Amino acid sequence: MYSQSARLIFKRHRSLIIQPILIIVLSVTLAVVLSNATLDVIEQVTINPTFIFAAIKDHLILSFASAAIIMAVAVPAGIALTRQKLKKFTPLVLILANIGQAFPAVGLLILSGILFGFGKPVAIFTFAAFGILPILRNTIVGLQEIDPFIIESAKGMGMTARQALRQIELPLAVPVILAGVRTTLILTVGVATLGVFVNGGGLGTLIIPGLKLNRELVIVTGGLLTVIVAFTMDWLARVAEELLRPRGI
């Protein structure tokens, strides 16, 4: 019985165990390749610990800050759009969010830079505007999928609408909302490489110069580091999803 239970737990969380192993393998492989590589003068400017750690730090700031803004806006907006008074605006808001995400990220970023200046704040708010759709949509869908009978039963037992939202609707919608959070995190990690175009930093400071100067090692380093960061953030989001998921779901 114990071994069967252990197998079921391992099967359910297998990817949570395998993913960090893959992250470690990629990181060690990249470190070994870079330590044994013969770098020319141009490559030494970007492929050094100081530059790489600064780029990763900037990339994490861009990704986490924009994701935090998205969650602070999208989750309350998604909740509001499922309330009776604002339901009629839901299709319009989703259409606008889809249009915003369909707009090329680099074009939106450069336009923001021209209008509002350059630097991290502009990059962060632009990425937040670009990536709002997954969490907004998942919040709406997660709340709309709850059986109305459950909510009416709670209200019949004396709960107010706010209590029903906090104690029943949001816990039941958590898995769907967190799936949107995961999607947003990966999306922001990807588009954060474009921060270099508005002097926002990030791993694009390796990839873009590598492309311009035809330095394959610099391009591969920036690309692999972006993949490692994306895998790490995805794994952390999945762990959070498992911890926050209501028991029995």
Give the pLDDT confidence score for residue 6 in this predicted structure. Answer: 44
Give the pLDDT confidence score for residue 99 in this predicted structure. Answer: 73
pLDDT in tens for each of the 249 residues of the chain? 445 444 544 455 666 788 888 899 999 999 998 888 888 888 888 888 899 999 999 999 998 899 889 889 888 988 888 888 888 888 888 787 777 677 777 777 888 888 888 888 888 888 888 888 888 888 888 888 888 888 788 777 877 878 888 888 888 888 888 888 888 888 888 888 888 888 888 888 888 888 888 888 999 999 999 999 988 888 888 887 777 766 655
CA distance 215 to 79: 48
Give the pLDDT confidence score for residue 7 in this predicted structure. Answer: 53
Give the pLDDT confidence score for residue 130 in this predicted structure. Answer: 80
**Strand, coil or helix: 235:** helix
Q: What is the pTM of this model?
A: 0.81
User: DSSP letter string over the chain?
Assistant: -HHHHHHHHHHHTHHHHHHHHHHHHHHHHHHHHHHH----HHHHHHSSHHHHHHHHHHHHHHHHHHHHHHHHHHHHHHHHTTSTTTGGGHHHHHHHHHHHHHS-HHHHHHHHHHHH-SSHHHHHHHHHHHT-HHHHHHHHHHHHTS-HHHHHHHHHTT--HHHHIIIIIHHHHHHHHHHHHHHHHHHHHHHGGGGGGGT--STHHHHHHHHHTT-HHHHHHHHHHHHHHHHHHHHHHHHHHHHHSPTT-
Give the pLDDT confidence score for residue 12 in this predicted structure. Answer: 57
Query: Is 62 in contact with 195 (CB distance < 8 Å)?
Result: yes
Give the CATH number of domain 40-244. 1.10.3720.10
Spans of all domains in the chain: 40-244
With a CB cutoff of 8 Å and minimum separation 6, the contacts of 87 are 81
Give the pLDDT confidence score for residue 228 in this predicted structure. Answer: 92
Give the pLDDT confidence score for residue 13 in this predicted structure. Answer: 62
Give the pLDDT confidence score for residue 246 in this predicted structure. Answer: 63
